Amino acid sequence: MKVLVVGATGGSGRAAIEVLLSEGHDVTAFARRPEALGVSSPRLAVVTGDATSPADVERAVQGQDAVIVTLGIRENPLTVRMRGSARTPMDVRSVGTRNVISAMRNHGVRKLVVQTTYGVGETRGRLSLKWKLLFSLLLKPQIADTELQEREVRESGLDWVLAQPVGLTDGAEAAAPFASPAGEARGMSVSRRSVGRFLVEAAQSAKYIGRSVALSAA
């Protein structure tokens, strides 16, 4: 299978790439700064591009069998809330995903897996008061853009899966996470490596098509 990973240098994107390569897939990593990827393989092609550029995305999507999107802002959330993002557009999730969807339609690519976050869309009502306050006070712009991103995916007409991990960690755990289409979570942390494994499973399988899946530590 040929899989494009958009947002390849983030923790979940990199983890997904490592799983895809270990399973023998051909991978295209799409990122603004591909030198930060730190992964190499004869099966890995690296494309430099900006997800907010339709032309860049169009070029990368052509010829793929599936697309995994792990876009986000990796700067300190407090700094972003006070001053905005210095490196990444605040609407990178929704705009980048919209560009991916458009390119997939143009090239007949059907399978789309998008990482968003627990606490938006179908799981919005499951957050504790603490997490609701955190989202409102610290992450409000990012959450608003993620809500828009989810809407774009749901209305895409593609074979989509929304992956909603709880708080991400850099833990070594690489086992499959607890995946709940019902929105249940077994805690509020999950490793990026576990999330990467789920993203690959969702790209390969028809099991979760048209579902929003909450991810937490198994």
Report the CATH number at residue 41: 3.40.50.720
Q: Which residues contact 116 (CB under 8 A, 6 or more apart)?
A: 93, 146, 149, 150, 162, 163, 164
* 6-26 confidence digits (pLDDT tens): 999 999 999 999 999 999 999
What sign does the dihedral 61-67-68-73 (CA atoms) show? Answer: positive
**Domain tally, the chain:** 1
Look up the pTM and report it.
0.96
Read out DSSP for 95-122?
Answer: HHHHHHHHHHHHHT--EEEEE--BTBGG
Q: Tell me the residue range of the domain where 126 lies.
A: 2-216
Give SS3 for 147: helix
- Res 77: pLDDT: 73
